[in-house]
Structure 1
């Protein structure tokens, strides 16, 4: 079961030894279970389907998955997958070194090592590897399809029509490495396959953590737009993920990760919303630059659609000019 706690509960901060002991107790259950085919044969949610359907995109919730122990996610298999990803433009990101929650992607030095050397030294390299679009490999595509069936079941017929472009991203992380504070546009589930970690997830509508301006910049300027705020930990929900655990990260929900004392393998599975939702935020970004305080998306469907149509029209004009 996904362990979760509010980091602000009674102001209590357990000591490091207590945290390690708690994680070992939680994850020991996984180690004593049978192989992945017997432990979790399919995706499932902790809470009833109807409850999860109402929380999709809005609230973090726990789930379980059948990927832990799968041979496609062994370190050897992932090294080969990383080699394949390196041959695709933009599908492999690697950095190594000290990192804080407030740092931005791309500010940590890239290691002066080959992919083989990084995997060989992953225990001590302080590295973070991100492999995108593993679904280009048929073996991983079959596993992604199982997730899509699960997600569509949660979304229901109406919600499923809004989802497309399923993607599988695998993250391999050195012990005790942190991952930056950020938020994403996609409907996302993070599945823990090997090792354990803590993840803090904020309410996507908490504008003290994720501002409208940051979301607008995310779609218009950089996906590094989210900025860590010191008070975020006091309002976030903390989940401890062990192999077999997964958690739903709502769209625009800021989150950050602390890996524990062993190598972590996590799988991020996501699907996209229609482009018109992003275009409404893009329109607001440009309106704000002209000194106008735009209406946030969701207040008026007519206004939102008009903004999206305007951005789409500009995009069409630009494509004609480039011809």
Structure 2
């Protein structure tokens, strides 16, 4: 089966939340031994390690770490007993056996939607019991495949209230991380999804969301991708960011692929070559090293 999308996927794609089922959680590669192997073989300098603060209003706390010396087994022990969120980014591009799984997932999406997927990035998410992932959005489209554990995802509308245009533009221009300020009233407009192994879903591009793990280790596949319309919308947002930051304009948010936004997407290609605008490095520097001998398994750097 791999991933089974509903027959209505093509019609709903890009506009609605779409649920699917899968059997990937039954594979040995996602056992403890399999995940330890992945962690040992994956380039350690590309492993994303984060600690998040508790859920509250405003911009959530995010602290980045690193684990240059810890073994895969030690990292898994820290995840089980501590409060860590890991992303084995681009696992489909860096590990051959993960590439095969990525081909299955992205192939299933292409078959179901009738659209070619581009810029495929399959991240393996490994996270601690009870951890909360801050309110944020992703510029690529995301398909989330739940492998182990249970968690709740809240999905919010992609509009100016929940995701202001200037903040999305800053994300596209790499002036900030993907986290956004949260307000308690946002939950009134959220779709709440309880995820269990064997479930998968994909949602409209750049829809904000947050995640709360149950009291168990969680393993998921976060499959980021673009379609041609999604790429054009992202490029239109890029142009809007320049119009706002350099020319003081207040452009309309590029949430739909209108003729105007198609023109902006074309303009972005030229602007990227000729503009003097330089993206600010948004990368948060690591401030701790994962260390089982340290308090809370995090040694300050």
Whether the TM-score (by the shorter chain) exceeds 0.5 is: yes
CA contact (8 A) 2:120 2:226 kept: yes
CA contact (8 A) 1:101 1:180 kept: no
Q: Which residue of 2 aligns with 1:42?
A: 2
2:109 aligned with 1:151, yes or no? yes
The Cα shift of 1:300 comes to 7.6
Q: Which residue of 2 aligns with 1:175?
A: 129
CA contact (8 A) 1:96 1:125 kept: no
Whichever structure has more strand as a proportion of its residues is: 2
Structure-1-length-normalised TM-score: 0.75
Distance 2:138 2:239 in 1: 18
Q: Which residue of 1 aligns with 2:96?
A: 138
Structure-2-length-normalised TM-score: 0.80
Q: Which residue of 1 aligns with 2:171?
A: 218
Larger radius of gyration: 1
Structure 1: stretches of 5+ with no match in the other structure: 1-40
Q: Which residue of 1 aligns with 2:296?
A: none
Distance 1:253 1:59 in 2: 10
What is the DSSP-based 3-state SS (H/G/I as helix, E as strand, rest coil) of the residue aligned with 2:188? helix
Q: Once superposed, what is the RMSD of the aligned Cα atoms?
A: 2.6
Q: Which residue of 1 aligns with 2:291?
A: none
1:88-131 alpha-carbon deviations (Å, 9 max, x no partner): x5x31112364436676883253777244221232221111111
Cα distance 1:118–1:299, how it changes in 2: closer, same or farther (>3 A)? closer
2:41 aligned with 1:81, yes or no? no
1:133-157 alpha-carbon deviations (Å, 9 max, x no partner): 111222111111111221012212x
What is the DSSP-based 3-state SS (H/G/I as helix, E as strand, rest coil) of the residue aligned with 1:253? coil
1:214-242 alpha-carbon deviations (Å, 9 max, x no partner): 22122112342532222121111111111
What is the DSSP-based 3-state SS (H/G/I as helix, E as strand, rest coil) of the residue aligned with 2:25? coil
Paired positions, count = 269
The Cα shift of 1:199 comes to 0.6
Distance 1:127 1:43 in 2: 28
Please list, as runs of the form range in 1=range in 2, the aligned pairs for 1:109-120 lying within 5 A after superposition. Answer: 110=65, 114-115=70-71, 116-120=73-77
CA contact (8 A) 1:96 1:126 kept: yes
The Cα shift of 1:186 comes to 1.8
Distance 2:58 2:123 in 1: 21
Structure 2: stretches of 5+ with no match in the other structure: 277-301
Distance 1:300 1:109 in 2: 35
Match of 1:92 among 47, 50, 56: 47
Please list, as runs of the form range in 1=range in 2, the aligned pairs for 1:1-323 lying within 5 A after superposition. Answer: 41-45=1-5, 48-50=6-8, 52-87=9-44, 89=45, 91-96=46-51, 98-100=53-55, 107-108=62-63, 110=65, 114-115=70-71, 116-135=73-92, 136-156=94-114, 160-161=115-116, 163-204=117-158, 206-220=159-173, 221-224=175-178, 226-274=180-228, 275-289=231-245, 290-297=247-254, 301-317=258-274
Structure 1, 172-181 or 220-229: larger mean CA deviation: 220-229
